[in-house]
Structure 1
């Protein structure tokens, strides 16, 4: 059984947390060490609401990935006597069961190994667990990869969402929360107003376009089939458990290895960053207080340019960043993306009216994140070297790593659901 002693605190201090497994289960040892998760802090959000009477069995797609695993841990631990949480994941290259292994043995948690693009997998899971609520996080999300591997983004993000919507409609799902991105709005020029939820969608890269297309499907199922949906569009989210292909964990891991970071173009684009614990709180708030048929922006107050972000990381890691010579040691420049939006900016007033507020500053969140990656970055996923390339190009067949691992390793999973391979 797994024993969890505490949760993270709003102040950014880690609790004493320990998860021990005494069941002798084998776990995907080919890509993650067996014991890393046992000494990791069990991180979740801080919100708690009165359980909803019409919610009992929650399906979280992409539950072994970054953001979704934060939500899985939070819902499982916070509502242990109210909700059953089912993590549905195909275990693609950026996912790992280490993200949720601390929950193994809890009676209100289950993991279901399945492919979102396979209707029989989705329906089988819904039927087995009597799902009434869906939180849809599963997606290909690395913008760099979308320029060279766009078909896989369309398949997962658009077709996968279509499959899930069709299954949800057939099964009579009572609440469907679709997780999108602020990138569907497109670029917001410096000095431009923060965009509200009714703003026109104008995506500029293949990833953002696939997420906008998925939103159109979601809206069509709401209109045509009365599926009760809520759409969420968030700024960039960072924190522990994020696969190090994204900018913050990638930079931390490269610097930890003594390697310089690589900035796209001149390093001038800015992004707004939200700590994962605050994001988990936002999704919890929207699940419990959001209105069906509405769209909610999840926005951060912390906007920073890529070069300024590098300097913050160098300072937080005790590396020099005060002189041009020091910067040249740790910062390199590489070719920019074919197109790179200068900034994104959303207005989160609507979510604030539900009671949510950002709690963790970028400085505090980076400190937590750096500490976690120093301890676990090199062991959590196995070999992360390919992810640390400045502008990785992932071959199409490599996106099937999860499916291959699914076939090779699934029989090692003890106590988890098994589904037919497609």
Structure 2
């Protein structure tokens, strides 16, 4: 079967890995990448498909209804993976209206055009942050949404828009909520590449608040595997958690990365590599999730933390100048 897939935000971290995975799994499918190339996106991320006759990059903004309407009118699109989003939690406190415009309004523009074009699958990539945090009870897909920052509020609003098309029109949608994703090519506004970049330059890892907040980390290929599993087996109108079994406090993450990167560093010297800075307005301590629903479709987390972080560190060591240097006055985001 031949198929045309639209990936929004395909020059970003997760979107580019998804495009590469689609090209390997479905070599005869056409892949269209729409991205407006913000600071955390780069066409360098798509080197694996450059020159392929089945891959097309179209610069554009999902918030532009005229562009999006024209796109669906001129391209026969069967499947949409909507990855495009503003994702930096810190920035969402500084400019919440931008996050709502891109993440919620942009999703509304895109799904309306997809609905009118009678797309066969619309997969919305959301986040575990829509649940808010929980110290003990893990979230399943029926847990209430309690977003605690403008970023997660905008993603929750986008989910509501997507689900409304299922409820009113039975438009074939799926929603994913994943743990924190890491791996090669991630922009260093995110915590793992940020720490690696700072350590590489003999600078301290900046840690917000106490550093006791913990995160579940999932290697990027496991996430793209989950997306492809849902494309083929996902039940329409359903939400799926994509959770990781690996959880680590941010302060422990910094200590582990220093030990991996700095030769012969003593336990006592580890504290010298950390600088505690002012916390963000709202800090979520944990986002535990249950992924049993996805497991019933056959998906399992394959890449261990040990293997995933080894691959990630190796990539950043081999590509030290891939992203421009981070500014020194931006604090680490644990999300």
Confirm or deny a common fold (TM above 0.5).
yes
Going from structure 1 to structure 2, the CA distance change for 1:184 and 1:320 (only over 3 Å counts) comes to farther
Matched, 1:84 2:25: no
Partners in 1 of 2:266 and 2:236 — Cα distance?
50
Q: What is the aligned counterpart of 1:340 among 278, 283, 290?
A: 283
> Where do residues 393-412 of structure 1 align in structure 2 (5 Å cutoff)?
none
Alpha-carbon displacement from aligned partner over 1:234-265 (angstroms, at most 9, x marks no partner): 00000001111000000001100111111110
Per-residue deviation, 1:107? 1.5
- The 8 Å contact of residues 158 and 210 in structure 1, kept in 2 or not, is answered as yes
Number of the residue aligned with 1:296: 240
Q: Map 1:83-162 onto structure 2 (within 5 A).
A: 83-162=29-108
**Residues 1:242 and 2:189 are matched in the alignment:** no
Instruction: Return the alpha-carbon distance in structure 1 between the equivalents of residues 329 and 186 of structure 2.
Output: 13
With structure 2 as the length reference, what TM-score do the two structures score? 0.96
Aligned counterpart in structure 2 of residue 286 of structure 1, from 216, 230, 233: 230
TM-superposed deviation, 1:311: 1.4
Find 1:331's aligned residue among 247, 250, 274: 274
Cα distance between partner residues in 1 of 2:179 and 2:207: 20
Distance 1:391 1:367, change over 3 A: closer
Change over 3 Å in CA distance of 1:132–1:387 after alignment to 2: farther
* Residue matched to 1:70: 17
8 Å contact kept, 2:189–2:332: no
Mapped partners of 1:387, 1:60: distance in 2? 33
2:219 to 275, 284, 303: 275
Q: Is 1:264 matched up with 2:211?
A: no
SS of alignment partner, residue 300 of structure 1: coil
Write out aligned runs for 1:347-366 (5 A): 347-366=290-309
Distance in 2 between the 1:387 and 1:68 partners? Answer: 27
Report the CA distance between 1:127 and its aligned residue.
Answer: 2.7
SS at match of 2:94: coil
Is contact 1:311-1:321 (8 Å) kept? Answer: no
CA root-mean-square deviation: 1.5
Partner of residue 389, structure 1: 330
Cα separation, 2, equivalents of 1:77 and 1:162: 30
TM-score for both structures, normalised by structure 1: 0.77
Counterpart mapping for 1:208-223 below 5 A: 208-223=152-167
Asked whether the 8 Å contact 2:134–2:285 carries over to 1, the reply is yes
Q: CA deviation at 1:126?
A: 2.2
2:6 alignment counterpart: 59
User: Is the partner of 2:5 in helix, strand or coil?
Assistant: strand
1:391 and 1:364, CA in 2 relative to 1: closer, same or farther beyond 3 A? Answer: closer
Output one character per residue of 1:272-328: Cα deviation in whole Å (capped at 9) or x when no partner: 00001111111111111111111100000000000111111112113455433x123
**What is the CA-CA distance between 1:120 and the residue it aligns to?**
1.7
Between the two structures, name the one with larger relative contact order (CA 8 Å, sep ≥ 6): 1
Separation in structure 2 between the aligned mates of residue 239 and residue 343 of structure 1, nearest angstrom: 21
Report the number of matched residues: 333
Shift of 1:360: 1.0
Q: Is the 8 A contact 1:262 1:332 kept in 2?
A: yes
2:217 & 2:329 partners in 1: Cα distance?
20
Query: 8 Å contact 2:189–2:326 — kept in the other structure?
Result: no
8 Å Cα contact 1:240-1:369 kept in structure 2 = yes
Gaps of 5+ in 1: 1-52, 393-422
| CA deviation string 1:325-352 (max 9, x = no partner) | x123211100001010010011001111
2:117 paired residue number: 171
Say whether the 8 Å CA contact 1:244–1:388 is kept in structure 2.
Answer: no
CA-CA distance at 1:224 after TM superposition: 1.9
Structure 2 unaligned spans of 5+ = none
What's the offset of the Cα at 1:76?
A: 1.3
